[in-house]
Every structure is written in C-alpha cells, then in structure tokens.
Amino acid sequence: MYRHLLLGVVFSLGLAACATAADMGPAKTGQTALGPVLTDAKGMTLYIFDKDTMPGKSVCNGKCAENWPPLKADAAAKAMGNWTVIARDDGSKQWAYKGKPLYGWVKDQKPGDTTGDGFLNGAWHVAKP
C-alpha cells in the first residue's frame, strides 16, 4: 500500500513540475542582482523596450536589433498563456511576454548580467516573470 502511495506522490510531483515548466513558455526564470528575470535558453537576461507601445509590434529593428537581439520564435511556435508570437518587420517571428516583445543585450557577457537595464535614458528594462 505504501509503495502505491509513494508512486502516486512521485507521479503527482512529476506532473506539477511539467506544468510549471510548460507555464514558462519559451523562457526560463533566472536570478540576478535585480531579482528574478526572464532568461533565454542560455540563461541570459531578457529585456523589454518602452518604445514597444503597440501590442504585438516591435519597433526595434535594423541596428537596434543587432544590439538587442529579439528572442526568436520558430515558424511553428504557438501562443500559450502569457506568451505570444509576433511577426517582425523582416518577416521573422519573436516571442512576447504579456504583450511585450523580448530581447537580449549584446553587452551582457554571462548569465545574471543586467547591463542593459536602464539603457537609453531608462527605455530598456529587465523582463520580470
């Protein structure tokens, strides 16, 4: 009887872990000096841009996107919960969280870096979960 109970608990915990991972969508949560932030698959901090005022639209293109690489979504990516996929001006796809497109920052060197926070007169911010 205890064996079945133990197996049930282990199975339930496994399902809970899967649900939590699925809820996060295409990014993870990492810890920084600024607290928890969204990160890409490599653990690098993700950012949002105040000038992205229209839902589902990124205004960071060209040279801006070279410095602030969009969090790319593949062509088959689908919206889930707080996560949406937007079309960029160049036709590629980008992930957005709660309507805000997500970006990396080329000057961050390692996971946990947040050197882009407050950049451009405060227009860039770490993305918070």
pLDDT in tens, 118-127: 999 999 999 9
Q: What are the Cα distances from residue 115, in Å, to 44, 47, 87? A: 11, 10, 27
Whether the full predicted model's pTM is greater than 0.85, yes or no, is no
What are the DSSP calls for the chain, one per residue? -HHHHHHHHHHHHHHHHHHHHHHTTT-EEEEETTEEEEE-TT--B-EEETT--STT-----THHHHHS-B-EE-TT---BTTEEEEE-TTS-EEEEETTEE-B--TT--STT--TTTTHHHHTEEEPP-
Reported as a single tens digit per residue, the pLDDT across 55-74 is: 889 999 999 999 999 999 99
Strands 100-101, 124-126: pairing is: unpaired
Query: Which pLDDT belongs to residue 25?
Result: 79
Query: Which pLDDT belongs to residue 55?
Result: 85
Query: Which pLDDT belongs to residue 17?
Result: 36
Split at pLDDT 50, 70, 90, the class of 24 is: low
